[in-house]
Amino acid sequence: MRILVTGGAGFIGSEYVRQRLSADPAARITVLDKLTYSGVEANLAPVAGHPGYTFVRGDICDPDVVGEVMADHDAVVHFAAESHVDRSIEGAGPFVRTNVLGTQVLLDAAVRHRVGRFLHVSTDEVYGSISEGSWTEEWPLSPNSPYSASKSGADLLALAYHRTHGLDVVVTRCTNNYGPYQFPEKVIPLFITNLIDGRTVPLYGDGRNIRDWLHVSDHCRAIDLVLHGGRAGEVYNVGGGTEVSNHKLTGLLLDAVGAGWDRVSYVADRKGHDLRYSLDDSKIREHLGYAPQVSFADGLAATVAWYREHRSWWEPLKARAAL
C-alpha cells in the first residue's frame, strides 16, 4: 500500500511516519507538507534513508500540487492542519484556508484518482465541552474555537464525500496528544522547556480545565488500526483514559523538573476555553482492539527527558516563534 501522509513533518504526522517506516522495510510513504512554522523536516531524519520514503514540500490548498502527488497512492492519511487554538483566536483565516479548503482540495483529488481509503485525522474538540459523562461518536458537533470549528468543517466534508461520492472515508477523533517533537507552543512542551530554562509558566485562569491525555505513539497506533480495519464512512473516537486538570498537570511538571509553585504565573483565561473533554472510545476498543500502551506517568517522564536531551531541537523553534 502506498500512503500519502499530509502534514507528516508535524508533531503527530512525523510520529506516524517514523513508526510505520521503522516497523516495515517494505512500507511506502510520501509526505506532503508545506513546512509552516510547526513543520520541521528534520523530524523525519530518523527515517529519511528508508527506501520507501519520499518528501514533497507543498501546500494542500494547491490543487495542482495535490493532483500531482495524489496519483499512484492507495490511501491518504490527512494530518495537515493549522493546529493551535490560541493562534486561531488571534486570526482564523489560515485555519479556514488550510483546515477546510485544504481538506476539500485533497478530497476532490482523492475522488478523481480513485484513492482506496482516506483517513481524516480529526479531534475531540469538534464536540465542544462536556461537564459530565463522555462523548460517543454520535454526539452532535458543537465546536467553540475557530480551530475546532474549522476542524468540524473538514470532518463533516470528509464524511459528506463518503455519502456523496462513495469515497472510502474513515475519521478519527482523538483527544489531546503529548510526546516528543511537539511544537513548544503547546502546553506540555512549553511548560517543560520554560521550566528547564528557569522561567515561569503561564497557567490559564484557575487551571480547572480538564484534558484527557494520550501519548502520541498510541494515537498513531490507533490511526493505523483504523486505516486498515475501520469501516468506510465511520468515525472512531480515540481516548487516553487519563483526565487531568491543567492545575494537576502543572504540579506534575513542576515535580518532574524539581521546581515550585513560585514558577507559575496565573494569566487571564483563554477566550471560550473549553472546560472538559472526555471521550467514550469503546467503539475502537471493541471493534479494532485498540488500547493505549503508554501510561501517563511513564509517557510524561519520557517526554520531560526527551526535551531535556533535545535542546538543539526546541531552542531555535522557540526563538523563531518568540515563545
Selected catalytic residue, list 33, 59, 125, 274:
125
CB atoms near residue 297 (< 10 Å): 10
Asked if residue 215 lies in contact with residue 177, where contact means CB atoms within 8 angstroms, the answer is yes
CB atoms near residue 322 (< 10 Å): 5
Tell me the C-alpha distance between 131 and 275, whole Å: 7
Closer CB to ligand NAD, 200 or 241, in the complex: 241
Is 34 a binding residue for ligand NAD by CB under 6 A? The answer is: yes
For ligand NAD, the binding residues in 120-139 under the rule CB under 6 A are 121, 123
Among 177, 193, 217, 242, indicate the residue that binds ligand NAD (CB under 6 A).
Answer: 177
Characterise 237 by phi-psi region: left (phi > 0), alpha (psi -120 to 50), beta (else): beta
CB of 262 to ligand NAD, least distance (A): 29
Which span (111-119, 172-180, 258-266, 308-316) binds ligand NAD, by CB under 6 A? 172-180
CB of 123 to ligand NAD, least distance (A): 4
- Catalytic annotation on 147? yes
Selected catalytic residue, list 16, 127, 147, 181:
147
Amino acid residing at 210: I
Which span (2-10, 263-271, 274-282, 300-308) binds ligand NAD, by CB under 6 A? 2-10
Is 145 a binding residue for ligand NAD by CB under 6 A? The answer is: no
> Dihedral of CA 15/45/41/158: which sign?
negative
What mask, x for binding ligand NAD by CB under 6 A, covers residues 11 to 30? xxx-----------------
For ligand NAD, the binding residues in 58-77 under the rule CB under 6 A are 59-61
Among 4, 10, 209, 277, indicate the residue that binds ligand NAD (CB under 6 A).
Answer: 10
Is 3 a binding residue for ligand NAD by CB under 6 A? The answer is: no
Name 78's Cβ contacts closer than 8 Å, sequence gap at least 6: 6, 7, 103, 106, 118, 119, 120, 121, 158
> For ligand NAD, which residue has the nearest CB?
10
Give Cα separations from 298 to 174, 220, 252, 292, 293 (angstroms). Answer: 20, 18, 12, 12, 10
Closer CB to ligand NAD, 117 or 239, in the complex: 239
- The H-assigned helical ranges of the chain are 11-23, 63-70, 85-90, 93-95, 103-112, 146-165, 187-196, 216-229, 246-257, 282-288, 296-309, 311-320
Residues carrying an active site annotation: 124-125, 147
Applying CB under 6 A, which residues contact ligand NAD? Answer: 6-7, 9-13, 33-36, 38-39, 59-61, 79-83, 98, 102, 121, 123, 151, 174, 176-177, 183
